[in-house]
Structure 1
Amino acid sequence: MIRFLILAGLLTASTPALSQTSCRQALALGLDVSGSVDSQEYRLQLDGLALALGDPEVVEALVAQPSAPVVIAVYEWSAPGDERLVLDWRPIANLSDIREIQAILHTTQRANMGPSTGLGSALERGFALLEQRPECWTRTLDISGDGKGNTGRRPQDVSNTPNGVTVNGLVIGVDDDRTGNSRNLQIAELASYYTAYVIRGPNAFVETALGFEAYQDAMTRKLLRELQTIAIGQLSPSH
């Protein structure tokens, strides 16, 4: 807890003229709901995110500075043009805010969306969301997925990354029905693909989950890492 209090104090000291609309981090999360994700895996993903947000250390980081909160948005993606906003931008200033977000995630039901994997379009949708929050000191896009892009624009061809935005990845290893348990090989290949073509920006990284049942723990690790890397040096003196 001390490290978050110290960080909050440093941020407050360096930003004496904060307005009520200040935001220290915008976090957009894009969840893969393409055809490779079955109904059980879909539920593990949504519930895993909800439970990760409620992890005590994550809560501590999220509410460390209520005067300049983290804002969060969640969307689902599959085929190009098939993206659904699950949670529009929501500031997190206290535990009650987190509980409200968790309730939305736990009760969200799957929509009918295309089966293909449009990773390029998923990036573009996340960028469009983050462009709505230019006032935030840092802006982060999280892309979760269990496969490579196979339709629409390739992620490496999406070059309109907003200035200062970081894209992180959470890759999920799944078994191949044809070869049996191949999660370790698959996740290594997919992590390399995300590293080469998906993630970008300051301090970008890839987190891994060995199956959807490990998604909650992987998301918790990723959130903690992201929330602890707010770049104080990026704040302008006018703040």
Structure 2
Amino acid sequence: MRWCVSIGAVLVAGAMLGGDVTSVAATGLKPQWAQSKPEPVVDVELVLAVDVSYSMDMDELAIQREGYAQAIVSKEFLAALKTGPNGKIAVTYFEWAAANDQKVVIPWRVIDGPESADAVAAEIMKAPIRRASRTSISGAINYAMPLFEENALRGMRRVIDISGDGPNNNGGPVTIARDAAVEKGIIINGLPIMAKELSYSTMDIENLDWYYEDCVIGGPGSFVVPIKERDKFKEAIRTKLVMEVAGIALPYAKIIPAAAREPRVNCMVGEKIWQDRWGR
């Protein structure tokens, strides 16, 4: 589901619901990972998976990095923290490109207020910017899933937040990785970056937001916040993070595996373009 919503509306809805909104509440089912774990001590375990493939220019990478850092210290994000019953989240941030190219920039950190938010934002900005070849959204999802088992904290929700500017063209099919994560009770949200003019000499595709909606995101209440203008980059990142922290339960929230619907976009389009152009 694509979302265009004000941050104020998100916070109001979260406050009205008392912040007690989880994937469990949305489905009425207790995920398998939660059945044998201690009671939650954070509201969200949030994995930020950030595209650093060569299709992202250096300016985009810098704006993306600044967007996450500024979002985490924003008054809207800090207000969203207060809507949860625990008032804190756990977050980790990694960059990805090819199927075997992922790098953790920020290991698991707890954010519970301005001081810890400032520290995480400073860590994000301190790391050097890098670029790498290929685009493997499936690789990013597969890398993200075990990260939830590596921290000692337990959240009411587990969320993978993926940003990227193109379709999967490396590694396994994205829908297989997506469905595996959803099966584990993990929610995947997307930030498709569509701020540049479409170039058919690259791996760009039309309707990248549709691709993310139909092929990438999944789980109860999952959503897409597309970026179609460069000057909206930071605002979109902030809106997405506020929505994830506030954890609004949506009336249509349900798990829809790839096999249960007909995508508007070919979920193997990236692999097909790569094969047609380079034959491998």
Shorter-chain TM-score bucket reads 0.7 to 0.9
Establish whether residue 75 from structure 1 lines up as the match of residue 94 from structure 2.
yes
Q: What residue in structure 1 maps to residue 180 of structure 2?
A: 160
1:63, 1:95 within 8 Å by CA — same for their partners in 2?
no
Q: What residue in structure 2 maps to residue 237 of structure 1?
A: none
User: Aligned letter for 1:172?
Assistant: I
Q: Give the Cα–Cα distance (whole angstroms) in 1 for the partners of residues 231 and 12 of structure 2.
A: 31
Q: What residue in structure 1 maps to residue 75 of structure 2?
A: 56
- 1:209 partner SS: coil
Establish whether residue 109 from structure 1 lines up as the match of residue 128 from structure 2.
yes
1:145, 1:170 within 8 Å by CA — same for their partners in 2?
yes
Which TM-score applies when normalising by structure 2? 0.69
Q: Give the Cα–Cα distance (whole angstroms) in 2 for the partners of residues 9 and 46 of structure 1.
A: 28
- 1:132 CA drift (Å): 3.2
Q: Structure 1: where are the runs of 5+ without partners? A: 12-18, 232-239
Deviates more, 1:128-137 or 1:160-169: 128-137
Establish whether residue 28 from structure 1 lines up as the match of residue 47 from structure 2.
yes
- 2:220 partner SS: coil
- 1:217 CA drift (Å): 0.7
Q: What residue in structure 1 maps to residue 28 of structure 2?
A: none
Q: Give the Cα–Cα distance (whole angstroms) in 1 for the partners of residues 150 and 107 of structure 2.
A: 11
In structure 2, do the counterparts of structure 1 residues 74 and 10 end up closer, same or farther at CA, with 3 Å as the change threshold?
closer
User: Aligned letter for 1:154?
Assistant: P
Q: Structure 2: where are the runs of 5+ without partners? A: 1-10, 22-37, 250-280
Deviation per CA, 1:63-96: give whole Å up to 9, x if none: 5558552111111000111101011111111100
- 1:114 CA drift (Å): 3.0
Q: Give the Cα–Cα distance (whole angstroms) in 1 for the partners of residues 134 and 220 of structure 2.
A: 30
Pairing partner for 1:191 from 209, 212, 228: 209
Establish whether residue 37 from structure 1 lines up as the match of residue 56 from structure 2.
yes
Establish whether residue 226 from structure 1 lines up as the match of residue 244 from structure 2.
yes
Deviation per CA, 1:112-136: give whole Å up to 9, x if none: x531101110111121222335721
In structure 2, do the counterparts of structure 1 residues 110 and 226 end up closer, same or farther at CA, with 3 Å as the change threshold?
same
1:66, 1:93 within 8 Å by CA — same for their partners in 2?
no
Task: State percent identity of aligned pairs.
Answer: 28
Q: What residue in structure 2 maps to residue 235 of structure 1?
A: none
Structure having the higher strand fraction is 1
Deviates more, 1:95-104 or 1:57-66: 57-66
Pairing partner for 2:220 from 202, 205, 220: 202
Q: Give 1:66-145 correspondences, 5 Å limit.
A: 67=86, 69-111=88-130, 113-132=131-150, 135-145=154-164
- 2:225 partner SS: strand
Pairing partner for 1:147 from 166, 172, 176: 166
- 1:201 CA drift (Å): 0.5
User: Aligned letter for 1:62?
Assistant: L
1:80, 1:121 within 8 Å by CA — same for their partners in 2?
yes
Q: How many pairs were matched up?
A: 217
Q: Give the Cα–Cα distance (whole angstroms) in 1 for the partners of residues 167 and 19 of structure 2.
A: 42
1:66, 1:92 within 8 Å by CA — same for their partners in 2?
no
